[in-house]
């Protein structure tokens, strides 16, 4: 699983740049390009924002796994193949009920070995969830709520939008010339550095700072719809949020910093949950849930 997620930043930037034609040097970059090249490339640099809106699924995949590779430098994967298999089986099922059931390389779910309460959906369908957040789930409905919320971020393109709003101008300022011209060693080195900075911004803005209240509420609404569509009780979302509210400490890391207060989320999503009508939680799911979650 970890080998699947790790990407080489240099390779990723070449794929990204070639796919999006994000080319230009809007500044001289210390003599990497001539004034004529800078002027010629300026028009392309001004189109960076539009180019990022045209990212292909393959582009998104390479970006996403680079983001996850960066994240895994700080957070270790949880070495429990049974749990990760369980998360992936549940996650694939939930994703299939979303409005974005497919990505370039499918969805991938991974537990992180940290007590911090957090989860994150990177572009391309890479979703990670911490042991700390998993402990807030007391049944499979609650766990489905966590995974469905992250799938909700994916189907609403929140991760991709976070990338589009990141430091793309740094990528433009790499000395890469007009489309079709070759990369010199200095251009490749500068592009790799700039792309690494951009990925770092994505991790900082989306994982550590959060998407903002509006987008979190939107992901909650998606989660309720996805859960109800395949028979999970949406009240599992309220149960998980209530447990988080008891567990999290004010001023703490993770969801406390990046998400609206659990009580606010419960109030906001309650009408949608009640609109699903009465739904029961299947007792048969509890045994497999407890087996998979043992030891976390």
Q: What is the pLDDT of residue 67?
A: 86
Using the predicted structure, report yes or no on whether residue 17 has a pLDDT greater than 50. Answer: no
Structure-block tokens of residue 160? 């991709």
Range 144-172 average pLDDT: 77
Residue 115 lies in a domain: yes
Q: What is the pLDDT of residue 58?
A: 82
Enclosing domain of residue 123:
76-158+211-293
What band does 20 get if pLDDT is binned at 50, 70 and 90?
very low
Range 285-293 average pLDDT: 95
Q: How far apart are CA 112 and CA 203, in angstroms?
A: 15
Residue 119 lies in a domain: yes
Q: What is the pLDDT of residue 161?
A: 75
Using the predicted structure, report yes or no on whether residue 175 has a pLDDT greater than 60. Answer: no
Residue 176 lies in a domain: no
Residue 216 lies in a domain: yes
pTM: 0.73
Residue 96 lies in a domain: yes
Q: pLDDT tens-digit profile of 193-238?
A: 555 666 766 677 667 777 788 899 999 999 999 999 999 999 999 9
Stretch among 65-69, 190-194, 217-221, 263-267 having the lowest mean pLDDT = 190-194
The domain total for the chain is: 1
Q: What is the pLDDT of residue 293?
A: 96
Residue 52 lies in a domain: no
Instruction: Give Cα separations from 265 to 58, 77, 149, 166 (angstroms).
Output: 34, 28, 12, 27
3-class secondary-structure state, position 176: strand
Residue 188 lies in a domain: no
3-class secondary-structure state, position 208: helix
Residue 36 lies in a domain: no
Q: What is the pLDDT of residue 126?
A: 96
With contact defined as beta carbons under 8 Å apart, do 128 and 110 qualify?
yes
Q: What is the pLDDT of residue 282?
A: 84
């Amino acid at each position: 699983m970890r080998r699947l997620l790790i990407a080489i930043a240099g390779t990723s930037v070449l794929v990204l740049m070639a796919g999006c034609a994000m080319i230009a040097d809007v500044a001289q970059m210390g003599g990497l390009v001539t004034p004529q090249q800078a002027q010629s490339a300026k028009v392309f640099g001004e189109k960076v924002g539009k180019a990022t809106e045209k990212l292909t699924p393959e582009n998104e995949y390479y970006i996403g796994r680079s983001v996850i590779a960066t994240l895994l430098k700080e957070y270790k994967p949880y070495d429990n193949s049974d749990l990760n298999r369980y998360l992936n089986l549940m996650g694939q099922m939930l994703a299939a009920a979303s409005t974005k059931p497919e990505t370039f390389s499918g969805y991938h779910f991974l537990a992180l070995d940290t007590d911090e309460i957090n989860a994150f959906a990177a572009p391309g369908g890479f979703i990670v969830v911490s042991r700390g957040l998993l402990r807030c789930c007391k049944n499979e409905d609650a766990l489905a709520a966590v995974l469905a919320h992250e799938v909700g971020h994916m189907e609403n393109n929140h991760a991709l939008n976070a990338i589009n709003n990141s430091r793309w101008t740094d990528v433009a300022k790499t000395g890469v010339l007009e489309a079709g011209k070759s990369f010199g060693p200095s251009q490749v080195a500068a592009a790799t550095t700039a792309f690494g900075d951009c990925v770092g911004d994505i991790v900082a803005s989306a994982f550590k700072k959060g998407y903002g209240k509006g987008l979190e509420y939107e992901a909650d609404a998606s989660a309720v719809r996805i859960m109800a569509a395949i028979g999970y009780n949406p009240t599992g979302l309220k149960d998980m949020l209530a447990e988080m509210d008891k567990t999290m400490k004010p001023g703490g890391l993770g969801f406390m910093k990046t998400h609206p207060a659990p009580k606010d989320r419960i109030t906001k999503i309650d009408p949608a949950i009640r609109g699903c009508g009465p739904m029961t939680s299947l007792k048969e799911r509890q045994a497999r849930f407890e087996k998979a979650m043992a030891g976390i």
